[in-house]
Structure 1
Amino acid sequence: MMNKLSFILIVLFSLACNSKETHLSKPNIVLILADDLGYGEVGYNGQEIIQTPQIDQLAAEGKIFTNFYTAAPVCAPARCMLLTGLHSGHAYIRGNDEWRERGEVWDYAKAANDPNLEGQRPLPSGTLTIAKILQQNGYQTGIVGKWGLGAPLSEGIPTNLGFDYFYGYNCQRQAHNLYPPHLWENETKILLNNQLVVPSTKLDSLADPMDPSSYKRFQQTDYAPDLMHEKALAFIENNKDQPFFLYYASPLPHLPLQVPSENMEDYQKVIGDEQYYDGSKGYFPNRYPRATYAAMISLLDKQVGEIRAKLEDLGLSENTLIIVTSDNGPTYTGGVDFDYFKSSDPFSNGYGRTKGFVYEGGIRVPMLVNWPGKIKSGTVTDHVSALYDLLPTICELIGAKIPVDTDGKSFLSTLLGKRQEPHKYLYWEFPEYGGQQAVRMGKWKAVRQNLKEGKIQTELFDLEADPKELHDLASQFPEIVSKMEEIMKKEHSPSSIERFRLEALGD
Structure 2
Amino acid sequence: MTRSHTNIARFSAAVCLTLLLGFGSTLQASQPNIVFVFTDDLGWGDLGVFYQNESKHDKTHQTPHLDRLAAGGLQMRAHHCPAPVCAPSRSSLLTGVHQGNAVVRNNQFDKALEDNHTLGSVLREAGYRTCMIGKFGLQGGPKEKQQTGTPADWPAYPTKRGFDEFFGYVSHYAGHLHYPNDPWHQSQLRAVHVVDRRWIGAQWIAGEPKRR
Q: TM-score band, normalised by the shorter chain?
A: 0.5 to 0.7
1:95 Cα shift?
1.5
**What is the TM-score normalised by the length of structure 1?**
0.29
Whether the 8 Å CA contact 1:192–1:222 is kept in 2: the answer is no
3-state SS of the aligned residue for 2:121?
Answer: helix
Match of 1:58 among 47, 54, 69: 69
Match of 2:99 among 77, 88, 91: 88
Alignment of structure 1 residues 32-111 onto 2, 5 Å: 32-44=37-49, 45-46=51-52, 48-62=59-73, 69-99=80-110
Q: Distance in 2 between matches of 1:149 and 1:141?
A: 17
Give the partner amino acid of 1:189.
R
Which residue in 2 is equivalent to 1:144?
Answer: 133
3-state SS of the aligned residue for 1:167?
Answer: strand
Q: Distance in 2 between matches of 1:133 and 1:66?
A: 20
Q: Does 1:222 align with 2:168?
A: no
1:9-29, Cα deviation, whole Å (9 max, x unpaired): xxxxxxxxxxx9952453222
CA RMSD, 1 decimal: 3.3
1:178 Cα shift?
3.9
Matched-pair identity in %? 36
Larger radius of gyration: 1
Give the partner amino acid of 2:105.
R
Q: Distance in 1 between matches of 2:131 and 2:165?
A: 5
3-state SS of the aligned residue for 1:40?
Answer: coil
Alignment of structure 1 residues 163-312 onto 2, 5 Å: 163-186=163-186, 188-192=189-193, 221-222=195-196, 260-261=200-201
Shift in alpha-carbon separation, 1:73–1:132, aligned structure 2, 3 A: same
1:167 Cα shift?
0.2
Q: Distance in 1 between matches of 2:116 and 2:71?
A: 36
Which residue in 2 is equivalent to 1:487?
Answer: none
Shift in alpha-carbon separation, 1:191–1:93, aligned structure 2, 3 A: same
Structure 1, unaligned stretches of length 5 or more? 1-19, 100-120, 194-220, 227-258, 266-283, 285-507
1:63 Cα shift?
5.6
1:94 Cα shift?
1.7
1:55 Cα shift?
1.1
3-state SS of the aligned residue for 1:135?
Answer: helix
1:174 Cα shift?
1.7
Shift in alpha-carbon separation, 1:164–1:64, aligned structure 2, 3 A: closer
Shift in alpha-carbon separation, 1:261–1:180, aligned structure 2, 3 A: same
Which residue in 2 is equivalent to 1:466?
Answer: none
Structure 2, unaligned stretches of length 5 or more? 1-24, 53-57, 141-150, 206-211
Shift in alpha-carbon separation, 1:181–1:61, aligned structure 2, 3 A: closer
Shift in alpha-carbon separation, 1:185–1:68, aligned structure 2, 3 A: closer
Which residue in 1 is equivalent to 2:155?
Answer: 155
Q: Distance in 2 between matches of 1:147 and 1:166?
A: 9
1:139 Cα shift?
0.7
Which residue in 2 is equivalent to 1:275?
Answer: none
Shift in alpha-carbon separation, 1:57–1:97, aligned structure 2, 3 A: same
**What is the TM-score normalised by the length of structure 2?**
0.64
